Chains A and B, each alone.
Chain A
Amino acid sequence: MPSVAESLAGRIDGLSELRQEVLLGNEAIARGIVESGCHVVASYPGTPSSEILPAVVGFKQELGLDTHVEWSINEKVAYEVALAASYTGKRGAVIMKQVGLNVAADPLMSSAYTGVKGGFVVISCDDPGPHSSQTEQDTRFFAMFAKVPALDPSSPREAKEMVKAAFELSEKHRLPVILRPAIRVSHARQNITFAPVPQLERLADFEKDPDRWAATPRFRYVLHKELNEKLATIEEEFEASEFNVLHEGEDNRLGFIAAGTSYAVLTDTLRELSLEGRFPILRIGTPHPLPQSLVADFVSGCDQVLVLEEPDAVIELQILDKSKVLGRYNGVVPSAGELTPEVVYRILAVQMEKLGVDLAPGIDPGELAKLVAGLELPIRRPRLCPGCGHRAAFFAMKRALGSKAIYPGDIGCYTLGLNLKAVDTCLDMGGAITIASGLYQAYHQDSEDVAIAASIGDSTFLHAGVPALASAVHNQARFVLVILDNSITAMTGMQPTADSGILADGRQGQRVAIKDLVRACGVRFVEEMDPYRVNDFETLVKRAREHTRQPDGAVAVIIAKRPCVLYDPTPLQENPVRVTVTEECDGCKYCLLAFECPALVLDEALNRVVIDRRICVNCGVCMEACPKGCIVEAEE
């Protein structure tokens, strides 16, 4: 197969080599994927990774590439689809957020042993903070766990170069390679220079090799030894990698080992404090396997070494002699939360004081924080949008089953049903259905009949809900399941679902209907309804609950169908219901608490709720939210 360099001489994308654009980190990563000539790209959306695949689609369309691009139904599926391309000698990339790698852990572990043929890169975006995730887990630990190499970029520009290096590394050693951008790389913006896009002419050629691709445990032992050898060779190569850079310093009482975003934050902070060039810094771009000699030499030249990396202590853990190390294990670096510039500054300030290095006094943020806290500014917690169908469904569910019912929830915009007290648990993708099953069994064992109403979004149902539902039905669990079908993956930026039939590049594919899947799982009670019909929906939830209590009852499924208002506002534009609040409103706040539409606002002076016309979308559903009937249709 031709190398990238050879192919470069072949087909050039026709653009000026100096074309420069301000790109989102995720777009830079996408550019790196197409500049690597990757053939198959698969992903499941999740913040902070969601923009990569659409950007690949953008470049594919702009350049007329024949890259296969797909939103797979979940991360495990995406991983395996891209991996199989590599089996044939083509290049594959799989993209996900860090918790998505939990779902794809099975193929990750196994493919490390079997190895790959064409370059195969796993892009897993971490979320220190966390900003939009259920954990702060560190993808680099997965690299250690699976014994595969990991690259950790500190900027969008470097991320693009690392994608290309990852493909080369993967192809050379026939191993999956992980690229781990953290959120401040994925969602940073930087000017990026475009390089030519090669066309890697490779025809699919799967060579049968059952001792590898279908290895039994006896051969797995052989493959494990092979993997260890690969890793040792890669560690040696990393000793001289261009992604590990030593910056000399004049004061070796303290050295820094820094990686990824933390390296970038450290560099800017030292510069702002006029300490640039004073202390030696070893920047690590290859956190696994750690180049041990490079690190040991650096450590031996310093009195103490402060390790800055996030979200966890992966480099620190691998350092063999920890006697000089300052980091998370001795509490110098906090063990949770993002290493923001403020946190890094505080860590530095402590160390500088110990070294007797004076820092120029800055502005005191504590003083202002106290003043602002005293202002009691309104809290802007995330809320469901005005007109969101999920709100209508949750409101009707609560009205039907009350606050004693248990409401297992799931991952998506509709986790915000929390605010309406219609979500009691949020574990992971698909967890609504499994937790509902387990709750049922736990209460049923005590002969207790408790109302359980689970909620899950359309995309999440397809992702992990189907096996959960089949298992629940098979094991005779009884609960109400509301599938909140807004026809799109809304939270992560409007990616199409399999139920819509639309493909990642906008073409029409084969539709996989949620209703058919529910029936195929053995569910006999399946009803579809627009949750805007709040009263009818409430009756339907009650009927579903009754079904679960019948002698021959089982799981009852309601599909709440209403398109996301951000994705498709046309139904509201065609049929607006303009509402107003009558003077009889006594400011009881019931609607604000139980319905929580951002367009319903308490006018303190009038002691009355008013409609915020700037954001109201005229859905009219809130007329149901006032028990006193004070929200009414406005007269023309």
Chain B
Amino acid sequence: MDLKMILAGVGGQGVLFATGVFSETALALGYDVLGSETHGMSQRGGSVVSHLKIDGYESPLIRQGTADVLLSFDEDEAYRTLAFVRRGGICFVNSPHCDFWDNGVKAYLTNNGIAAHSFAADEIALELGSPRSANLALIGYAVSVPEVRFGYNEIKATIERISPSRFKEVNLRAFEGGYGRKQ
């Protein structure tokens, strides 16, 4: 399925877990996966960016301007990582405002044919009383968009399989909550 994804956020937002959801799903589908994550000093409150490349890559890093999909759990981190997205790529940003983009950046998105979705994943997670599940709500929303080539059932099965038992139920509800709000 040749796919390059960037997942971005700040420490504590579950960027690494979200990456695991996609990489485990790809592996279950029989694809090779390769990715890169942030550890060490940068984890003390800094930005967390993870790269995920599916099917037939050698290097775990994605070059700027070549990612198919960006999933950002934070507005500022979306700005910081937008440069990874390729012409005609797609990005999903956790934001309570459907149109938060700066005007200059908005023109950049249009000029480069980048489809930008913003989605209030925090709201869904709060409604469920589990603010830390926003990552799964955003994944749910992203999976509802056909360009993201992962199916609802496949992702759901992975979440069921890899969630720690005490978070399994709320993770699934957040995922379904995000999926259900499709445009």
Contact = CB atoms under 8 A, between A and B. Distances in A.
A491 B40 CA distance: 6
Interface string A352-394: 0000000000110101110110110110111111000000000
A614 B33 CA distance: 34
Most buried by B among A24, A367, A369: A367
What is the interface of chain B mostly: helix, strand, loop, or mixed?
mixed
Contact of A265 (B24, B59, B65): B59
A187 B36 contact: yes
A468 to B, nearest CB: 23
A403 interface: no
Contacts, number: 142
Contacts of A382: 41-42, 44-46
Interface stretch (A103-111, A338-346, A509-517): A338-346
Nearest to A370: B104
Contacts of B46: 380-382
Given A189-B34, A342-B63, A263 B58 contact: yes
Contact of B39 (A48, A362, A598): A48
Given A372-B80, A377-B79, A382-B41, 18 more contacts: A187-B36, A187-B38, A189-B19, A189-B33, A190-B33, A190-B35, A191-B32, A264-B60, A268-B59, A363-B86, A365-B64, A367-B108, A368-B82, A369-B83, A371-B108, A377-B76, A413-B44, A491-B41
Given A155-B58, A362-B65, A372 B35 contact: no
Contact of B37 (A20, A189, A493): A189
Contact of A341 (B61, B80, B83, B104): B61
A73 interface: no
Contacts of B12: 615
Contact of A378 (B34, B36, B76): B76
Interface in B63-97: 63-66, 76, 79-80, 82-83, 85-87
B167 interface: no
Nearest to B89: A363
A91 interface: no
Contacts of A191: 27, 32-33
A492 interface: yes
A383 B20 CA distance: 26
Most buried by A among B19, B37, B63: B63
Contact of B34 (A50, A155, A367): A155
B163 interface: no
11 contacts: A22-B24, A131-B41, A189-B35, A191-B27, A362-B66, A362-B87, A363-B86, A368-B82, A380-B46, A382-B42, A491-B41
Interface of B: 10, 12, 19-20, 23-24, 27, 32-42, 44-47, 53, 57-66, 76, 79-80, 82-83, 85-87, 102, 104-105, 108, 112, 131
Most buried by A among B12, B32, B59, B102: B59
A51 B43 CA distance: 15
A380 B64 CA distance: 21
A347 to B, nearest CB: 13
Contacts of B24: 22
A133 to B, nearest CB: 9
Given A189-B23, A264-B60, A374 B104 contact: yes
A188 B35 contact: yes
A184 interface: yes
Contacts of A369: 83
A272 B62 CA distance: 11
B64 A342 contact: yes
A165 to B, nearest CB: 19
Interface residues of A, number: 55
Interface string A185-199: 001111100000000
B40 A341 contact: no
B44 A384 contact: yes
B44 A264 contact: no
A381 B59 CA distance: 27
B105 A492 contact: no
B58 A341 contact: no
A539 interface: no
A341 B104 CA distance: 26
B44 A383 contact: yes
A268 B82 contact: no
Contacts of B27: 20, 22, 191
Contact of A385 (B33, B39, B45): B45
Q: Which 5 A-B pairs have the closest CB atoms?
A: A341-B63, A132-B40, A47-B40, A264-B59, A188-B60
Nearest to B41: A132
Contacts of B83: 365, 368-369, 372
A50 B41 CA distance: 13
A378 B47 CA distance: 11
A187 B39 contact: yes
A261 B33 contact: no
A441 interface: no
A380 B45 contact: yes
Contacts of B85: 363
Contacts of A491: 40-41
A192 B45 CA distance: 31
Contacts of B53: 268
Contacts of A534: none
Interface in A251-266: 261, 263-265
A184 B58 CA distance: 11
A184 B45 contact: no
A189 to B, nearest CB: 5
Given A188-B34, A380-B46, A132 B39 contact: yes
A610 interface: no
A184 B65 CA distance: 20
A345 B66 CA distance: 12
B61 A184 contact: yes
A450 B42 CA distance: 34
B87 A261 contact: no
Interface in A27-85: 47-48, 50-51
